[in-house]
Structures are given as structure tokens and as C-alpha cells.
Structure 1
Amino acid sequence: MKKLLLFLFIIILSILVACTEDNKDTESNIRVTTTDTSSGDEVESGHARITISLYDGEQYLSELEVPIEDGTLLLDVMEENFYIETNDNETEITSIERMAESEEEKTNWTYTVNGETPSVTVDEYELSSGDKIIFDLKELK
């Protein structure tokens, strides 16, 4: 009886570990979902919604609705709410939540605000209440 219980315990534990590992990105240990979490719902007044995704939204890493004041710089909000790295000039984000751009894999981080690509870098973009920002790690073409 003890052997049977031990055998069942090992099987259940193995299943739990396998299920947990399937939902993680192995290199960065970040939970990844393939469900689109960025709804078309309005953003609460005085807030901005920031979505972090991979490969044109194939996977979503994170989404936060954060309180902001109009005119707050996007880079400052990113630094306060996510683990990021920037280039030497601090004008471009090169890594978000330990997911880095890669010359070898030909990927880079891009961002849109309210569905459009801004003409300024993240260190210059001034947020407005209700903004919907999407950072996406894309393959270069």
C-alpha cells in the first residue's frame, strides 16, 4: 500500500511540474500566455494601459493599467513598472522583463500608442490619460 501511495504521489508531482513548466519561457522564466489580454475597453481616466507582447501579439507577457499624469514620459513609467534595459543613449528600450533584443535572432522592441507608431523615442514620448501602449518584440524584416 505504501508503494502504491508513493507511486501515485510521484505521478501527481510529475504532472504538476510538467504543467508548470509548459507555461514558462525557458530562457527567461517568465510566464507566457497566448491569449490576447489587450481588450478594446476604455482605459480608466488618469491611467495608461501598457501591454508587453512577443511576435505581433502571438504571446502576451504582461499588461498593466498604471496611474499617470498627462505629460509623464513613457520611459519613466516603464522604469517604474517593469524591469527594462536601454541603449547607451537611453532613447530605446532593448530589454523588457529580461526579454532582450537579439542581433543573432534579428529581433527588436517596437512600440505603438493607440495603434500608431510615435515619431519620437520612448524617452521623449509624453503620455496622456487613456493611452494604450503596446511594446512588442518583433522579428526584423
Structure 2
Amino acid sequence: MKQWMFRLIAVFMVVVLLAGCGTEDSTDQATQKEANNTTENQGSNTEQSEETVLITITKDHGEEYIHEKEVPIEEGDILMDVMEENFYIETEQNGTFITSIERVAAKEGEKKGWIYTVNGEMAKVGAAEYELKPDDKVVFDFQAWE
């Protein structure tokens, strides 16, 4: 009878150990699947990276650096709106002409103003009309206009 009881206990312990290992394996597999899904989702998010533009603020034809910022944009974003959202600016003429960026402005009677280029070329329209494109490099330079 003792031998029968010993075998029953031994079988019971083997079943418990196997059941515990089986649960652990399925938990590990579930954790591994979740990790794989997360990695796949991160991979697809990387593919859908944000589109950005680089905006640089300088003085005197780039001799003095004021600020630079990479800014996320969406299709159809207008430069003036992006500037207002990301920098301290002041405008006049119904918000179409920038007079101050980051508190840099012409003094009374000074013939200086903000000129901007996109990808190294002078813009043909004002900032209130320019539609940004991904990877544009915009430079606002505070300079004499004589």
C-alpha cells in the first residue's frame, strides 16, 4: 500500500511539474509574440516618419546665429503659420510681413528687415503664402536692405 501511495504521489508531482513548465512555456511564447508584434509595429511607425523642415534664424548674412529648429509639418502647411507656432514673431500689414523674430527687430529708422530663403534660393512669395514641402531648409536672416 505504501508503494502504491508513493507511486501516486510521484505521478502527481510529475504532472504538477509538467503543467507548471507548460504554462511557463506558453507564457513565454505569448510574451515573445507580443514583443514581436511591438517590434513590427515600431518598424511600420519608423517607415511613416514625420515630414519636417529645418528653420534657421540668423543675422547679417549668417554671421550671427540666433536659433535653429527642425519642425514637423503636414501637407499644405504655410510658412507663416509654422513660424507663429514655433517661434516668437511679430508681424504687421495684416500679419503678412514679419517685423520681429525671437525679439530681433529693426530699431527706429534702421533699414534692416527679415529676408528668407528656401533651399538656398530667395522666395518669390511672402511667408504668408509659401507652402512648405518636406525637407525644405528655410533661413530667415535679419539684414540691411539698402
Matched, 1:53 2:58: yes
Higher relative helix content: 2
Measure, in 1, the Cα distance between the counterparts of 2:84 and 2:108: 23
User: 1:91 deviation in Å?
Assistant: 1.0
Please say which of residues 116-125 and 52-61 is displaced more in the overlay.
Answer: 116-125
CA offset digits 1:37-75 (Å, max 9, x no partner): xxxxxxx86000000000000100000001001320000
TM norm structure 1:
0.66
SS in structure 2 of the partner of residue 77 of structure 1? helix
Q: Which amino acid aligns with 2:93?
A: D
Matched, 1:63 2:73: no
Matched, 1:111 2:116: yes
Measure, in 1, the Cα distance between the counterparts of 2:83 and 2:64: 19
TM norm structure 2:
0.63
Stretches of structure 1 that go unaligned for 5 or more consecutive residues are 1-43
Tell me the number of residue pairs that the alignment of Structure 1 and Structure 2 aligns: 98
SS in structure 2 of the partner of residue 130 of structure 1? coil
User: 1:124 deviation in Å?
Assistant: 0.6
Q: 1:108–1:99: structure 2 CA closer, same or farther, 3 Å change rule?
A: same
Give the root-mean-square deviation of aligned CA atoms.
1.4
SS in structure 2 of the partner of residue 71 of structure 1? coil
Matched, 1:124 2:109: no
Match of 1:73 among 78, 85, 96: 78
Rg larger in 1 or in 2?
A: 2
Q: Is the 8 A contact 1:111 1:134 kept in 2?
A: yes
Match of 2:92 among 87, 90, 96: 87
SS in structure 2 of the partner of residue 60 of structure 1? strand
CA offset digits 1:63-107 (Å, max 9, x no partner): 000100132000010001000001132111100010013452211
SS in structure 2 of the partner of residue 80 of structure 1? helix
Percent sequence identity over matched residues? 54
Q: Is the 8 A contact 1:101 1:109 kept in 2?
A: no
Q: Is the 8 A contact 2:51 2:74 kept in 1?
A: yes
Measure, in 1, the Cα distance between the counterparts of 2:107 and 2:114: 10
Q: Is the 8 A contact 1:112 1:134 kept in 2?
A: yes
